[in-house]
C-alpha cells in the first residue's frame, strides 16, 4: 500500500503506521480517500488501541486491590494478633490507598478464613478455637496425604530428591524453611488446586507457627519427623510416607495447641 501522491503527509503516515493514528487523521483519511480494506484495517487498529487505553484505565484499580490483599497477608503474618480489630479506613490510610480496594481485599480474606466479620463488632483477625485449629490440621493431613500419594505415583524420584535437597538446605529453625520443605510435596503432586488450598490453610496458621518456631525445644523433634518423611519418600513407600506425614502433623497440632493455650494464659 505505497503512499499515494494525493495523500497529505499526516494521513499518509497514518496509513503506513496505524499506531500513530488519532481521531483527526482517521476522519481526514476517510474523508479524503473513502473506505478501502486497508482503511478498515487501520480504523480497526485505532479502535483496538482506544479500547486498550480504556482497559488500561481499569487496570490500576484491580492492581490496588491485589496490592491491598498482599499487604494484608503480610501484615497478618507479622503484625496483627488473633482477635485484633482492624478497620478498612485505618489500613487504607497506612497503605496510602482509597478504602474501596481495602474493603475488597477484606472480603477475600474473610472468605479465605483469615479475617472474621461479626455484626456490631466489625472485622477482626481470625482467632480460631482449639477445635477449629484441630480441624484445620486434619484437613492439612488429608490434603498432604493426597499429595504424597499423587507425588509418588507421578514423580517419585523427583520428590525424594527435592525433599532431601530442601531438608539439607534449610535451617529448620523458621516457619519459612518448614513451609519450603512441605511445598516440595505440594508441588510434586501435580495438583495445583490442592496446592493452592494447602497454601491458604497453611498461612492461616502462620501467626501461631511463628511463635512456635521461637521455641527451640521443638527443633530436634521436628527435624527427626522431617527426616522420617524424606526416608519414606526415598523408599517410595506410600504407606510409610503417609504415616510419617500424619505423625508430623499431629505432633505439630499438639505443639500449636500448647502455644495457643500459653498465649491465652491457660496452662
Q: Pick the closer one to Zn ion by CB: 162 or 178.
A: 178
Asked if 162 touches Zn ion (CB under 5 A), the answer is no
Q: How far is the CB of 112 from Zn ion (least distance, A)?
A: 22
* SS percent in the chain: helix, strand, coil, step 5: 75, 5, 20
Q: Pick the closer one to Zn ion by CB: 43 or 230.
A: 230
Q: Pick the closer one to Zn ion by CB: 104 or 166.
A: 166
Beta bridge partners of 116: 124
Q: How far is the CB of 252 from Zn ion (least distance, A)?
A: 7
Asked if 144 touches Zn ion (CB under 5 A), the answer is no
Select the span of 66-74, 130-138, 171-179, 230-238 touching Zn ion (CB under 5 A).
171-179
Q: How far is the CB of 249 from Zn ion (least distance, A)?
A: 8
Asked if 178 touches Zn ion (CB under 5 A), the answer is yes
Query: What is the rounded CA–CA span in Å between residue 260 and residue 264?
Result: 6
Q: How far is the CB of 116 from Zn ion (least distance, A)?
A: 27
Total residues binding Zn ion (CB under 5 A): 1
Cα 207 to chain centroid distance, Å, stands at 17
Beta bridge partners of 85: 124
Q: How far is the CB of 157 from Zn ion (least distance, A)?
A: 22
Q: Pick the closer one to Zn ion by CB: 65 or 225.
A: 225
Q: Pick the closer one to Zn ion by CB: 65 or 178.
A: 178
Q: How far apart are the two ends of the chain, measured CA to CA in Å?
A: 85
| Residue 195, C-beta contacts closer than 8 angstroms, at least 6 positions apart | 147, 183, 186, 187, 189
What is the footprint of Zn ion within residues 200-259 (CB under 5 A)?
A: none
Q: Pick the closer one to Zn ion by CB: 14 or 213.
A: 213
What is the DSSP secondary-structure string of 50-84? HHHHHHHHHHHHHHHHHHHHHHHHHHHHHTPPTT-
Nearest to 163 by CA among 147, 141, 184, 190: 184
Select the span of 14-22, 28-36, 131-139, 177-185 touching Zn ion (CB under 5 A).
177-185
Q: How far is the CB of 239 from Zn ion (least distance, A)?
A: 19
Q: Which three cell numbers stand for residue 105?
A: 481485599
With CB atoms as reference, the residue minimizing the distance to Zn ion is 178
Q: Pick the closer one to Zn ion by CB: 91 or 160.
A: 160
Nearest to 143 by CA among 9, 72, 242: 242
Q: How far is the CB of 147 from Zn ion (least distance, A)?
A: 13
Select the span of 15-23, 28-36, 137-145, 178-186 touching Zn ion (CB under 5 A).
178-186
Query: What is the rounded CA–CA span in Å between residue 206 and residue 201?
Result: 9
- Give just the sign of the alpha carbon dihedral 84, 87, 92, 93: negative
Q: Pick the closer one to Zn ion by CB: 21 or 232.
A: 232
What is the DSSP secondary-structure string of 178-232? HHHHHHHHHHHTT-HHHHHHHHHHHHHTHHHHHHHHT-GGGHHHHHHHHHHHHHH
Residues engaged in binding Zn ion (CB under 5 A): 178
Amino acid at each position: 500500500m505505497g503512499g499515494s501522491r494525493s495523500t497529505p503527509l499526516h494521513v499518509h503516515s497514518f496509513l503506513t503506521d496505524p499506531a500513530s493514528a488519532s481521531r483527526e487523521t482517521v476522519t481526514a483519511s476517510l474523508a479524503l480517500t473513502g473506505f478501502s480494506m486497508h482503511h478498515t484495517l487501520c480504523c480497526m487498529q485505532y479502535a483496538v488501541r482506544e479500547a486498550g487505553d480504556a482497559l488500561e484505565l481499569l487496570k490500576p484499580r484491580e492492581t490496588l486491590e491485589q496490592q491491598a490483599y498482599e499487604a494484608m497477608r503480610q501484615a497478618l503474618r507479622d503484625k496483627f494478633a488473633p482477635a485484633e480489630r482492624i478497620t478498612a479506613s485505618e489500613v487504607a490510610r497506612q497503605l496510602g490507598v482509597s478504602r474501596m480496594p481495602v474493603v475488597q481485599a477484606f472480603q477475600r480474606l474473610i472468605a479465605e478464613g483469615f479475617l472474621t466479620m461479626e455484626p456490631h463488632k466489625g472485622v477482626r483477625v481470625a482467632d480460631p478455637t482449639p477445635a477449629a485449629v484441630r480441624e484445620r490440621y486434619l484437613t492439612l493431613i488429608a490434603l498432604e496425604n493426597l499429595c504424597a500419594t499423587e507425588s509418588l505415583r507421578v514423580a517419585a524420584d523427583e520428590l525424594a530428591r527435592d525433599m532431601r535437597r530442601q531438608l539439607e538446605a534449610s535451617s529448620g529453625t523458621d516457619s519459612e524453611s518448614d513451609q519450603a520443605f512441605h511445598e516440595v510435596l505440594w508441588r510434586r503432586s501435580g495438583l495445583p488446586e490442592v496446592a493452592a488450598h494447602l497454601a491458604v490453610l497453611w498461612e492461616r496458621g502462620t501467626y501461631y507457627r511463628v511463635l512456635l518456631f521461637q521455641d527451640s525445644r521443638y527443633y530436634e523433634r521436628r527435624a527427626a519427623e522431617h527426616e522420617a518423611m524424606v526416608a519414606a519418600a526415598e523408599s517410595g513407600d506410600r504407606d510409610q510416607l503417609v504415616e510419617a506425614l500424619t505423625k508430623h502433623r499431629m505432633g505439630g497440632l499438639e505443639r500449636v495447641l500448647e502455644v495457643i493455650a500459653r498465649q491465652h494464659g491457660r496452662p
